[in-house]
Amino acid sequence: MKNQKRVILVLGVPRSGTSVLTKGMETMGVSLGPEWGTQDSWKKQDLWEDPDFHTLNLTMAHFIKGHERDILSVTDKEVEILCQKGFLAQASELLLQKFPENMPLGIKDPRFSILLPFWKKVFLHARFHASFIIALRNPWSFARAQTQHQEQSFSMWISYLLSCLEHSRNHKRILVDYDELIKNPEHQMKRIAQALELTINPKYLKSYCTEYVNPLGRHFHEPFELVHRDDYCEQFMIDIYAELLKVAQDNIGFQKLDVSLKKWERQFREIDSLLVLAEKNNFTIYEINKTLRQIDASINQAHKEITQKSYLIASSCLKIHQRKLEIISLFREQEERLHQLLKLKQSLEIQNRLIAS
């Protein structure tokens, strides 16, 4: 493996500790890309996402109507379409461009989780050895941190994790629970290093644990023992999370999940058609909102043009009014001069009569 090009992906739903995990890879000699010195906006937000990978993933998601793919993983047919349309070559070139010499490359973007079937083809094509860090978070804490409807958040949580687990098979991988990471970041970094055969730098590890990981940054923490069990979906998530937590706490290995994973995938397929319909509705809403934004922009532009034309008209009217006042003033001057001439004429006539007499 030392002579192979190596990439490590951080997978998982957003708001599940993926950014903290990505930053933690630096403690074990993993490069986050060559451009962090210039990408200040991404760095300051603590996203630790390479903008080029983010843009490419977003482009591919939109190409396959990504707003119908906020929840469900891409299908084999969609992967083939992406490859045929040149995205395989584009992604391979980007990966090679970003790869540093003599160091593994660590990358993270939320859409890797649902585009993973495509990216596995990229790694194979570009001859990269891929390893995975899968972020796990209590689904109720995740849902509270999201902006979308709770049921949609739950479906997203299930779909992302099932996709990560299924498509990371036969690769080096490790599952890290967000609460466990916040509680003991040093232990979790050592777990990752051991599982992925990396070497920890003690100095970087100490700095990461004491200066970067902030327990106060963990918003919306919902204790697992207090979660509700009101319906089928919630019970389904409890079953998944309880089992995956055992893996994240090293109580069982990934191989123990094989039977459960097949059961979970079967259960998830039972609501698959409903999710497809829901995502189509979401896409329709997105398109409607997009059209409304375009209409608003057109109205604003028309209002701006009307305002400008109204200003020109008002300015022209003011100039016309000023010219009218000037003309009126000239007429008055003319009348006064005529009146003065009339007086002079009368005066001359009187003088002529006096001379004649």
Give residue for tokens 């990504």. 66
Q: CA–CA separation, 316 vs 310, rounded Å?
A: 10
Domain range summary for the chain, segments of one domain joined by +? 5-270
Q: 289 by DSSP, 3-state: which?
A: helix
Cross-sheet strand order for the sheet of 128-136: 105-108, 5-11, 128-136, 172-177
Q: 174 by DSSP, 3-state: which?
A: strand
Strands 172-177 and 128-136 come out as parallel
The answer for residues whose C-beta is within 8 angstroms of residue 13's C-beta and 6 or more apart is 110, 113, 135, 137, 142, 156, 157, 160, 161
What per-residue string of b and e applies to 232-269 under the rule 16 or more CB within 10 Å gives b? ebbebbbebbeebbebbeeeeebeebeeebeebeebbe
CATH level 3 topology of 5-270: Rossmann fold (3.40.50)
pTM of the predicted structure, to 2 decimals: 0.72
**Tens place of pLDDT for every residue, the chain, 357 residues?**
555 799 999 999 988 899 999 999 999 999 987 665 444 444 445 678 889 999 999 899 888 865 445 678 888 999 999 999 999 999 999 999 999 878 899 999 989 999 999 999 999 999 999 999 999 998 888 777 665 566 677 888 888 999 999 999 999 999 999 999 999 999 999 999 999 999 999 999 999 999 888 766 555 555 555 555 556 667 888 889 999 999 999 999 999 999 999 999 888 877 665 555 555 555 555 556 667 777 877 788 877 888 888 888 888 888 888 888 888 888 888 888 888 888 888 888 888 888 887
